[in-house]
Structure 1
Amino acid sequence: MAETGRGPGSDQASITEAERWFLDHGLSYFVPRVRAEVRRGLRPRRFLPPLLGVTALAVAAAWLVVLLLDEKSAAPAVWTSFALAGALAYALTALHARAIVSWALTRTFGSLRLLVPMVSRALPLLLVFVTFLFINAEAWQMTSHLAPGVLWLTVLLLTALAVVFLLVRLPEEVDRADDAIDADFLRRTTRGTPLEAEADRIADLPGPHPPVTGFARWNLILVLLVVQIGQVLLLAVTVFAFFLLFGALVMTKAVQESWTGGPVDSLPFLPNASVELVQVSLFLAAFSGLYFTVSAVTDDTYRSQFFAAVTGELERAVGMRAVYLVLRERAT
C-alpha cells in the first residue's frame, strides 16, 4: 500500500538506488536481473561445454608435465589446479562472482591497518605451537620425501578442508544477523544508505520480514568466505616467510641433512636456504592456515576479533535487503 505523498515512481527510484548500492558493495545476487543471468549460467547447456574444455585442457597439461618431468605424481596436482582455475574463471564471469570477490578482497586488504593488529594477536600462540613441528626431524623427513606434485596436492587438500569448514560454519553468521531483524535493526543498519528514509517509514509495519534465502544467502556466505580466506592467506604467508627466515638462520645444512637423511638442494639467496626448507615451510604454512581457520570460527576470542570487521557489513546488507523487498512488493 502506497503511503501519502509517495507513489510508484518514488518507490522505483529508491529501488534503483538500492540496486546500484548492492552492485557497488559486492551484493550482486540481491539484484533480480543478475540472479536471472546466474540461473542461466547454471543450466547444463551453458556450463557443460566450458567444463569439457577445461577437463580436456587439464588432462593435456597433466600428461605434458608427466612427459617432460617424468613425474607421475605431479599429474593429480596439475589436473586439480587446472580444474580449480577453470571453476574460478567460470564463477567470476558467467556466474557474476567478480563483483563479490573484488569487493570482499578490497574490503579485506584495503584495511590492512586493522588486520595486522588482529593477526599479531593470533600469530604468537600459533607460532609457538607450529615451531615445535618445525624443529622436529619427522616433519623434515616427511616433507623432504614428498614429490613436488604430492606436496602441492597436500596443500590443496588442507586448503579445501578449510574452505569446507567455513562453508559449514559461515551460514550460522548469516542466520544470526537474519534472526535479529526488527524495527531498530532496520533503522540502524540502513543509516547512511539510499534506503535510510524508507527504513524509517516501514520499520514499524506489521508482519514478518522475509528471511535471507537462495542466491542472496549464498552472496553473503561468499563475501564472508572471501574475507576469511584473505585473512587466513595473510597469516599463512606470514608463517611461511617466518619459517624461511628462521630456518635459514638456525638450521644449518648439517642439521638439515641429518634430519632429511640425505643431501639437501641449496638455494642461492640465503646461506642455509634449501628446497627442503621451502617444502617444510610451505607445509607448515598450509597447516597453520587450516588451524587458524578452525580457531577463528570456533573460538570466541578469535571470533570477536576476526568477524568484528565484517559483522557490521553483514547486518547492513541484511537490513538493506529487508527494506528493498518491501519496496519491490509495494511497487508491484
Structure 2
Amino acid sequence: MMDRKKVLVTGGAGYIGSHVVQQLGEAGYDVVVYDNCSTGSPTAVLYGELIRGDLADIDKLYQVFAQHHFDTVLHFAASLIAPESVSRPLEYYANNTRNTLNLLRCCSAMGVNQLIFSSTAAVYGEPKENPVRETAETAPINPYGRSKLMSEWLLRDQGAISSLRYVILRYFNVAGADPRGNLGSMVEDATQLIRLACDAALRRRSKLNIFGTDFPTPDGTAIRDYIHVEDLASAHVAALRYLKQGGESQVLNCGYGRGHSVQQVIDRVRAIAQVDFPVIKTDRRPGDPASVVACADRIQSILGWRPLYDDLDTIIRSTLEWEMRRKTESLNQQRSLSLAMSAAS
C-alpha cells in the first residue's frame, strides 16, 4: 500500500490556516492547501502547494484527493463573523455546514480517516459558568455558532459508524501575528478587536466602536479569552501528532483560561502604542454574549500543548509590529508606483 504522508489544509491561505501551514512546513510535513482565496491570500502560503478551489465544487475536491494521497485533513475554510451570520444565515450554513459535509463525503470515499476541525467557542452561546468546559451545554445564539455546531455533529455521527478519528478545536478569540514578521492578518475589513484597535492607533481608522457597555461585567463591556495565533497554530500541530500516534477523537478548547474586557484591551493598546484615539460607545450587536472564557485543562493534558505567548501585551505588540510593517510596505509600494508612473510619463 502506498505510504500516505500528505496533509490537506482547507482554508490554508487565511489568517489562522496560514500560520498552521507555516508550522507544519517547518515541522517537515508535506502540505497541500485548498483555498478559494476569497478572504485568504496566496502570498500567505509559505509552504507546500496551493490549489485554488471551493469546497462547494465537489468534483474538483475529489480530483484533488485522487491526485494526492492524504492521511489527514485540517479543515479551516469557513465564514466566521458572528454578527454577519445573523443577517446572512443561509450563506453561513452553506459555506460552513454544507461544505463540511462535502469534505467528509470525500474523506469517506477516499479513505482519509483523520481530521482536525476548526470550531469555535460560539457553540457555547451564553455560558452558564466561566471558565467554560468542553462538557458545558452547547446552545449557540447565532447562525455562525449553529453552523459550526452542526459541523461538529457531522463529525461525531460519521466517527460513530466509521474509522474516522478527529480533533475538534474550539477557538476562543484569536489575535496576534507571527513574531518573526512572516505572517499576520491580511484582510482589509478586519473585525477582530485587537486588530481594529491597532488600526485606530496607527490612524488607519478615525475611531473605534465599542459594541455594548451594559453587559453584566465589571466595566460593562464584553469579556473574551484572547489566544495568540501562534499558540493556536501549535495546538493544531500537537493535534496532528496526537492523531498520527493513534489518539482517540477529542473535543478541546483553545484558550488561556483568562478573560479581558473590551475596555481593558483598548486601554492596553493605547498604552503600548502610546497613542490615543477616539472610542465611540454604541449598542450591542446581535449574537454577542457577555463573557466567554476557556477552561483549557484538557488540551494541555491530552495533547501536551503549552502556550508560549500567553500574555495580552505580547499579543498586542505582535499585532502592532505586523500592522506597522504592512503600513510601511504599502507606502513603499505606493512610492514605487508613483515613481514608475512619473518615469513613464
Q: More relative contact order in 1 or in 2 (CA 8 Å, sep 6+)?
A: 1
- Please report the TM-score for the alignment, with normalisation by the length of structure 2: 0.27
Identify the structure with the greater helix proportion.
1
Identify the structure with the greater strand proportion.
2
- Please report the TM-score for the alignment, with normalisation by the length of structure 1: 0.28
